[in-house]
Amino acid sequence: MTVDTAEDVAAFRQRARQWIGENLRPFSSSNTMGLRVRTSEEELAAVAADRQLQRKVFDAGFAGICVPREYGGQALTPAHQRAFNEELTGFEFASRCQIPTMSPCAAVLLEFGTEEQRRRHIPAMLRGDEIWMQFLSEPSGGSDVAGALTTAVRDGDEWVLNGSKVWTTGAWWSDWALCLARTNWDVPKHRGLTVFVLPIHQPGIEVHQIEMLNGARDFCQEFISDVRIPDADRVGEVDEGWTVGTRWMSHERLLFNSPYVTYPAGLERSLAEGSAMQIARDTGRLDDPIARDRIGEARALELVGRQLEQRLAAGIGSRRLSDQAAAIGRLYGGLARLRTATIKFEIAGDAGGAWSDDDGTAAEIGLAFLMRQTSCIGGGTTEMARNVISERVLGMPRERTLDRDVPFRDVPRSPSGRS
């Protein structure tokens, strides 16, 4: 792309700044997707508001900044998206229309979808009409994604799906799903998978909201019974689902760094809470040198994380780093958020354990601490990231596995029968 054919980043930034300033409200954590507890009515209202907000951004020509024009995007560069994200700092954004809808789902369709699939779905995603989910993890195992047991059996021009998916955030109010299913049990596990797209709300799919230990009910489990999908909704070749799946997961690991995701730069990742400094203020510890040390530590982790994300995105983009290096960002992000949750809990003092509404940002910090490990589990555990970094980035020997080079049906499974 040259300056002749596209608006340069500085001019784009200027235009974005003006539009954002005139059209968007200030950022508020109350409406933003997260693990905070809302009633169903409040959540549905927030979803509707996000769809409207996404539509507003689309109508203004700022949705899908890196998406080709023929699919409703702006055909600009990652630098433009980054500039937009930077200008968006401090403003509202359609949090429910970004991840996983734009990345990995739209990113996977752009890479592997048919022309018809792209034209049908990507503009709808950009308008806020379709919110997507990943039907990836299963109750039988979260990290071993290629061990999927959900099965698709061919029946003429259709496929019949049976099985269960889990850890979909907000499936009960979402529209479509990208689904990894087993289409062949007689070949090794990575060679018998196929990817499909399907509407979530249809007969045969039961969506169950899972209550988390903090009372949140965003995560869902789906029970899929004899769901019929036309072959036209298959993504990629039959039994080639792992080719799609590996790219799918590298898009997933990019998170907020994905060039398809609109997300205010520097927004604290733990959206539901106040900053460490606000908690110190609300608990009267602003002058406590120990609290200030921890505040400084949290700030350093945040700034380092931002620099690391830029380095990884640039390195992967220029191919100086392998795709697998995204796991470095995942591991750093998980550990940094974990540490930050601990810091906030520590600064909150006893208000972290028992609080009243008068405790300001210290209230409910204890609940966030109970959920702390989320940052090191969701989206692939940090242990998996460590395997990827050591084996795929550093080239160290792979772990011995019992599921290679044998038909998937012969692979040992949990004796409890839960799989």
Residue 376 within binding range of another protein, rule CB under 8 A: no
Q: Does 393 engage in binding with another protein (CB under 8 A)?
A: yes
Q: Which of 5, 41, 357, 397 binds another protein (CB under 8 A)?
A: 397
Instruction: Please tell me whether residue 295 binds another protein under the rule CB under 8 A.
Output: yes
If one asks whether residue 155 binds another protein (CB under 8 A), the answer comes out as no
Q: Measured from the CB atom, is 129 or 403 closer to another protein? A: 403
> Does residue 391 touch another protein according to CB under 8 A?
yes
In the complex, the smallest distance separating the C-beta of residue 140 from another protein, rounded to whole angstroms, is 22
The number of C-alpha atoms within 13 Å of 101 and in the hemisphere containing its C-beta is 31
CB environment 316-332: b (16+ within 10 A), e (fewer): beeeebebbbbbbbbbb
Q: Which of 99, 109, 122, 312 binds another protein (CB under 8 A)?
A: 312
Q: Please tell me whether residue 88 binds another protein under the rule CB under 8 A.
A: no
| Reduced 3-state DSSP string for 350-386 | HHHCCCCHHHHHHCCHHHHHHCCCHHHHCCCCHHHHH
| Burial group, residue 407, by CB count within 10 angstroms (0-12, 13-18, 19+) | middle
Size of the site for another protein (CB under 8 A): 46
The residue range among 77-85, 119-127, 155-163, 325-333 that interacts with another protein, by the rule CB under 8 A, is 325-333
Among 65, 331, 343, 363, indicate the residue that binds another protein (CB under 8 A). Answer: 331
What is the closest distance, in whole angstroms, from the C-beta atom of residue 261 to another protein in the complex? 20
Per-residue interface string for the shown chain with another protein, residues 246-275, x marking contact by CB under 8 A: -----------------------------x
Does residue number 338 form part of the binding site for another protein (CB under 8 A)? no
Shortest distance (Å) from residue 249 CB to another protein = 17
- CA distance between the termini of the chain: 49
Q: Which stretch binds another protein (CB under 8 A): 172-180, 192-200, 225-233, 294-302?
A: 294-302
DSSP code per residue over 195-225: EEEEESSSTTEEEEEPPPTTS---EEEEEEE
Binding flag, residue 389, another protein (CB under 8 A): yes
What is the dihedral sign for C-alpha 365, 369, 372, 374? negative
Is 406 a binding residue for another protein by CB under 8 A? The answer is: no
Closest CB to another protein among residues 98, 340:
340
Closest contact distance (angstroms) between CB of 386 and another protein is 4
Tokens representing 381 are 């555990």
Helix pair 40-59, 115-127: axis angle to 10 deg: 110
Is the previous residue joined to 26 through a cis bond, with omega within 30 degrees of 0?
no
Closer CB to another protein, residue 214 or residue 342?
342
The answer to whether 180 and 245 have CB atoms below 8 angstroms apart is: yes
- Distances 373 to 188, 205, 338 between C-alpha atoms, Å: 32, 29, 7
Q: Do 69 and 405 meet the contact criterion of CB atoms below 8 Å apart? A: no
* Contacting positions for another protein (CB under 8 A): 275-278, 286, 289, 292-297, 299-301, 303-305, 307-308, 310-312, 314-315, 318, 320-321, 325, 328, 331-332, 335, 383, 385-391, 393-394, 396-397, 399
